[in-house]
Amino acid sequence: MSMSHHKQSNLESSGIRVMLVDDQAMIGEAVRRMLAAEDDIDYRYCDNPLEAIETARSWKPTVILQDLVMPEIDGLDLVRDYRADEATALVPIVVLSSREEATTKAEAFARGANDYLVKLPDPVEIIARIRHHSDGYIARLQRDHAYVAIEENEAHLREELSKAAAYVQSLLPVPMKDTVKTNWRFIPSVSLGGDAFGYHWLDEDRLALFLLDVCGHGVGPALLSITAMNVISKQSLPNVEFSDPGAVLSALNNHFQMDDHQGMFFTIWYGVYDKKKRTLEWSGGGHPPAVLMNPDSQEPVLLESDGPMIGAVKDLQFGTFSCEAAPESRLVLYSDGIYEIKKPDGSLWTLGEFVEVVSHQPCQDGSSVDAIIGSVRAISGQELFEDDCSVVEFTFS
């Protein structure tokens, strides 16, 4: 049998709920009177210790006042049982004892009690302790609830980023195995960056090829990278000759002004390979230089990107550069995520060191892409990259 005293406040408002477990009805009434003037404290009295666990499960107190000496069950055993039950494992327990005994107090704390009072204390003291323990418990519940919400949000975000990464990858071109052979790897970071690349024939002789990298991480940069990739692949910029790399970048710069795209900009390397003339024309905006390797030369050629990033300043004119592309020469495009890494000693890897790795990687099945990525992972000591990592290799047969 139990009696309870409820006020207007509840767990969602004040949150303070006091449950007293004591077989003496006079103690139950005395505590009720102590708390009667506290409008923000709900009180429940349980005179049957065998019902204490079940009452606590259903009523959810923020503090339990537990008598030690009761018939049918020892109060110390009940303290242990509270701690063994998932519903009450963390609820603060204030032990009420008729005597101040060091051994009993030590045993109460050993079994999981949070506090020890000789009954009945002054109302000011018991109310202060109730508030102290309840406030700490409620704060813990709120913190745990916030952590759960954060974890759920992060899990949802990871799922969305994973879907976005899969979508980006689904739009990337299939490898070519004809006059021009291609091989590529796209490794999205955990937070997803803004890498995108592509290649397509402008006519029977000229192949357009590009790689771009939008600033920042998340779905926004990924969507902008997809938009830019589609504009280039579908040649949807009006009055632009897509065989002229400088003209393409000039038009992209005006079309994707960062003021119109939430402050986002991107870097890009865009080239056109002419298989009949054996030439490669290119232009770059803030992007790392492409690496061209001639089979007859030990030294790689860096096809520099001398223009600024796309979207920063309107009405800029980007230049077009040209070089020969000998038979069986290889061109490697990449995003900066592949080389902006830390070595195990904490120092930053340099672009020059990356180019050295690229130029000396052996080809397997006509491609060095996997060897490049494997070498970078070995140097960094990390399997994952902090930024999106894209590597695209072209072999001009």
pLDDT average per 10 residues of sequence, the chain (397 residues): 38 74 93 92 94 94 93 90 93 91 91 91 92 92 84 75 80 91 90 90 97 91 92 95 97 96 96 96 97 87 93 95 94 93 87 90 77 90 85 94
Q: Which two tokens stand for residue 51?
A: 């019902």
Q: What angle do CA 289, 292, 294 make, to 5 degrees?
A: 160
| DSSP assignment string, 65-128 | EEES--SSS-HHHHHHHHHHSTTTTTS-EEEEESS--HHHHHHHHHTT-SEEEESSPPHHHHHH
Asked if 195 contacts 222 with a C-beta cutoff of 8 angstroms, the reply is no
- pLDDT at res. 366: 62
Q: What pLDDT, on a 0 to 100 scale, did the predictor assign at position 263?
A: 94
Please give the pLDDT value at position 166: 82
Question: Which token pair is 287?
Answer: 């992007």
pLDDT of residue 157: 67
Residue 3 has, within 13 A of its CA and on its CB side, a CA count of 11
C-alpha to C-alpha distance for 268 and 310, rounded to whole angstroms? 8
What kind and span of H or E run contains 291?
strand 290-293
pLDDT on residue 283: 98
> Which CATH entry fits the domain spanning 172-396: 3.30.2130.10, 3.60.40.10, 3.30.420.10, 3.30.70.330?
3.60.40.10
How far is Cα 268 from Cα 195, in angstroms, rounded to an integer?
A: 10
Sequence-separated (6 or more) residues with CB below 8 Å from residue 287? 211, 212, 213, 267, 268, 269, 305
Strand pairing category for 266-274 and 194-201: unpaired
Residues 6+ apart with CB under 8 A from 356: none
Distance CA 162, CA 259 (A): 28
For the beta sheet containing 329-334, the strands, ordered from the edge strand earlier in sequence to the opposite edge, are: 180-187, 389-396, 329-334, 290-293, 301-303
| Closest residue by Cα to residue 104 from 92, 89, 119 | 119
Token digits of residue 180: 């021009």
CB 49 within 8 A of CB 72: yes
**Domain 2-144, what fold?**
Rossmann fold (3.40.50)
Phi, psi of 88 (to 5 degrees): -120, 5
Where are the domains positioned within the chain? 2-144, 172-396
Residue 64 in tokens? 């339990």
Q: Point out which residues pair with 212 in neighbouring strands.
A: 196, 268
DSSP state of 50: G
Q: How far apart are the first and last CA of the chain?
A: 91
Q: What does the alpha-carbon distance between residue 163 and residue 169 come to, in Å, rounded to a whole number?
A: 10
Task: Please state, in angstroms and rounded to a whole number, the distance separating the CA atoms of residues 315 and 75.
Answer: 82
The region that residue 286 occupies, defined by phi over 0 for left and psi between -120 and 50 for alpha, beta otherwise, is: left
